[in-house]
Structure 1
């Protein structure tokens, strides 16, 4: 494991923090529902991180098997051109993803702990299909000949970075209380207005990664 790999995957993890759902749920709880706030918020974030970690482990094991079976396939010119075209399509499509004006943020339907677990699983399932940086990071780790200890540690770190913005907001809320009301309202509005913009940036960057990774074999 080298520093360049960690920097690259760390950058992808930071990109994944743009996902609006986890931050949106956190802002909703801080603004509207203080009942057992700390417990319920941590349960929600642990559910999200645990879900993504489980998906990551399954993908690492599955992708590792596929790469061992079909080693060198990416060096095939047809495959490389296919990856290049997919990257180019993602790059172009990213400019046409509309911003979602006044979209509703996900919110818990009840106050129970189980409802927070259900919300965490639901939002994760909805967003895992667009978690392109996560998939790119897993692909990079798979081709880097990492041991299971190394890639497991990286997955833990990646998922911690993913939920770090909500944790920072919560810590600030505990420190300064009511002074966070207006900033939280602004964040809520920004998330609701620009969730499409965040997705467009993610799609654009993943498209660029695919293009550059395929150039050597065209």
Structure 2
């Protein structure tokens, strides 16, 4: 894997750290849960990471099969044009994405471990359709013809980076206790108000990345 590709995929992973739903659930649990907080939150985050990792593997293998269906003469040009079109559409759509000032973030209905797993799947299903950085990273790795031993650990690293902010919040909460109460409240309000804006920014940035990356192969 080239350093340029690794840098781009790493940047997309950092962008995916701004997931409003996953952060929103984490903040809610930190503010409301008193018993077995760490275990419940880690079950939730593990479910989210496992879901995205499985989706990533499916798409990597599926895209690889589709790409090999084309001849080597047309493969790069066709894929590059598709990436260019998707990038342009994402960039344009980012200006029209609804930026509502209040969004209801998912919350657990009970405190059991099974409810944390169910919440993880629910959050992942809600966000997977708007996981533009993740799918852009998968597309870039697929078009680069990486071997399994190259893209598999990259997917693992991507998903670890994606759930890193909630883990950092949990660590700070465990270390600082009540000191984190007010910052978490402010973060919860901001996430509830501006989740639409975060997705809009993601769409525009990913769109630009796809556009510039595809120009070299047209």
| Length-normalised TM-score, structure 2 | 0.93
User: Could you list the per-position Cα deviations for residues 148-181 of structure 1 after superposition, in whole angstroms to 9, with x for gaps in the alignment?
Assistant: 1221100110000000000000000011100000
Q: CA deviation at 1:101?
A: 1.5
Higher mean displacement: 41-50 or 206-215? 206-215
Matched-pair contact (CA < 8 Å) for 1:100–1:192:
no
Gaps of 5+ in 2: none
Partner of 1:150: 150
Matched, 1:35 2:35: yes
Aligned partners of 1:34, 1:107: CA distance in 2, in Å? 15
Change (3 A) 1:34 1:100: farther
Matched, 1:7 2:7: yes
Gaps of 5+ in 1: none
Partner of 2:197: 197
Partner of 1:212: 212
Alignment of 1:7-26 (within 5 A): 7-26=7-26
Matched-pair contact (CA < 8 Å) for 2:76–2:143:
no
Change (3 A) 1:26 1:200: same
Partner of 2:183: 183
Matched, 1:118 2:118: yes
User: Could you list the per-position Cα deviations for residues 85-106 of structure 1 after superposition, in whole angstroms to 9, with x for gaps in the alignment?
Assistant: 4322321221222322221121
SS in 2 for 1:96: coil
Q: CA deviation at 1:59?
A: 0.6
Figure out how many residues of one structure are paired with residues of the other and give that number. Answer: 216
Partner of 1:50: 50
SS in 2 for 1:208: helix
Counterpart selection for 2:77 from 65, 75, 78: 75
| Length-normalised TM-score, structure 1 | 0.93
Aligned partners of 1:73, 1:163: CA distance in 2, in Å? 34
What RMSD over aligned residues (CA atoms) do the two structures have, in Å? 1.6
Q: CA deviation at 1:194?
A: 0.5
Partner of 1:66: 66
Partner of 1:133: 133
